[in-house]
Amino acid sequence: MVIAVICGSGRLVITVICGSGWFAVAVICDNVWLVIAVICGSSILVIAVICANGWLVIAVICGRGWMLIAVICGSDWLVIAVICGSDWLIIAVICGSDWIVITVLFGSGRLVISVICGSGWFVSAVICGSGWLIIAVICVSGWLIIAVICCSGWLIIAVICGSGRLITAVICGSGVW
């Protein structure tokens, strides 16, 4: 179905298209236009809104054991992915240049939790039975810190390089070097 209305020098066009599992509405008025599209199938839903130079896309995909949600708006975007199996779960969140991934594995007496973040730093935590390990890496504006913590022992390596100086510090347990 198409509805077109032309009035004076301006124009307005409304287009409605409906098929098996999808629906689209387009509105054009002078040089400004808006398109809304909705696609809904057995396992996917996509909502797209396009207006002149700006646009927004929301996609939801759901399958057997996984779901993906994507939101895209102009130059900014956000993706949320959830994947769940018999003994594992992954949650990923991506937003612009920043991102975070959370992974949980459970089964055979083990549990692993991993968290990764962008913007100059990285943290990973691993828990397996009674033992655990944490690795943190921070690298921002001229300095680097690496921290490793494993059960009762720990190690920290710090490197600071800025303003013409270099400092290296190694801390291991109760000793400092």
Low-confidence ranges of the chain (pLDDT < 50): 175-177
Q: What's the pLDDT at 135?
A: 73
Residue 31's nearest CA partner among 10, 48, 57, 50 is 10
* Each residue's pLDDT tens digit, 77-89: 767 777 776 667 7
User: What percentage of the chain reaches a pLDDT higher than 70?
Assistant: 20
Q: What's the pLDDT at 28?
A: 64
| Six token digits for residue 126 | 């691993």
* Each residue's pLDDT tens digit, 99-111: 677 777 666 556 6
* Each residue's pLDDT tens digit, 161-175: 666 666 777 666 654
List Cβ neighbours of 55 (8 Å cut-off, separation of 6 or more): 48, 49, 72, 73, 74
